[in-house]
Amino acid sequence: MKASRLAATGALAASAVFVLSAPAFAHVTVQPEGTAAKGGYAVVDFKVPNERDDASTTKLEVSFPTDHPLASALPEPMDGWNIKVTKSKLAKPIEVHGKKISEAVSKITWTADGKGIGPGYFEKFPVSVGALPEDADELTFKALQTYSDNEVVRWIEVQKDGAQEPENPAPVLTLSAASEDGHSHGSSAEDASDETKTTENTAADTSAASDGSDTTARVLAVVGIVVGALGVAYGVLAGRRRSDA
């Protein structure tokens, strides 16, 4: 009985290692190319992975925030995709660089005119946006991902403070602090150097975190293997003792 319990413990430990080391569920995200400073302009990429083994992603619809409307949103032309920009009237006009804006982009739709994003691949959909709000720390973009078999995955769930990440989270763009002049229209050599240093530091932090996770996974794997081996060894010894008796 003791041998069986030890063997079962080893199996459970090995299972725990497998679960902890499994890759996170991929979803539609948005990230800036460089930084997205408050009050400035930025190029952001909507990253769309294909999560199906038997279908391609053929359509992406991204709804733009209505609480902080963006006067400008210019998608980059993409081979194999038809792009439609939808604008809507604003309930309350906004002022951008001294001009009153009465409408803003409410949605951008990419529709594949070919195979789209095949199984096992991802694609980035770049958009130049601005001016970014100065009174917000992040912007939420709700997205719909359509597959070739007509399945639609709705990436529209908003993350709540203190809660676990929802199953289908909406893409969120984090905004950085505004530059000294309150805008971000380009970069000088000094700015480029600073941005490079920031990117290197971020990469180093990410690498360190990844190394820590890998180390933890390896330790747990070794523990599981050792416990399982002990259980098997104990069972063999116990069997031999009973045979000798």
> Cβ neighbours of residue 65 under 8 Å, at least 6 residues apart?
139, 140, 141
Give me the pLDDT at residue 181, please: 54
Where is mean pLDDT largest: 17-21, 87-91, 170-174, 190-194?
170-174
* DSSP-assigned letter for residue 115: S
CA–CA gap between residue 117 and residue 195 (Å, rounded): 32
Give me the pLDDT at residue 219, please: 44
Q: Give the length of the chain.
A: 245
For 109-157, how does the pLDDT look when each residue is reduced to its tens digit (9 = 90+)?
999 999 999 999 999 999 999 999 999 999 999 999 999 999 999 999 9
> Cβ neighbours of residue 193 under 8 Å, at least 6 residues apart?
none
The pTM of the full predicted model, rounded to 2 decimals, is 0.64
Least confident of 66-75, 143-152, 168-177, 223-232: 223-232
Which strands sit side by side in the sheet containing 142-147, from one edge to the other?
A: 81-96, 99-112, 57-63, 142-147, 152-155
Give me the pLDDT at residue 21, please: 36
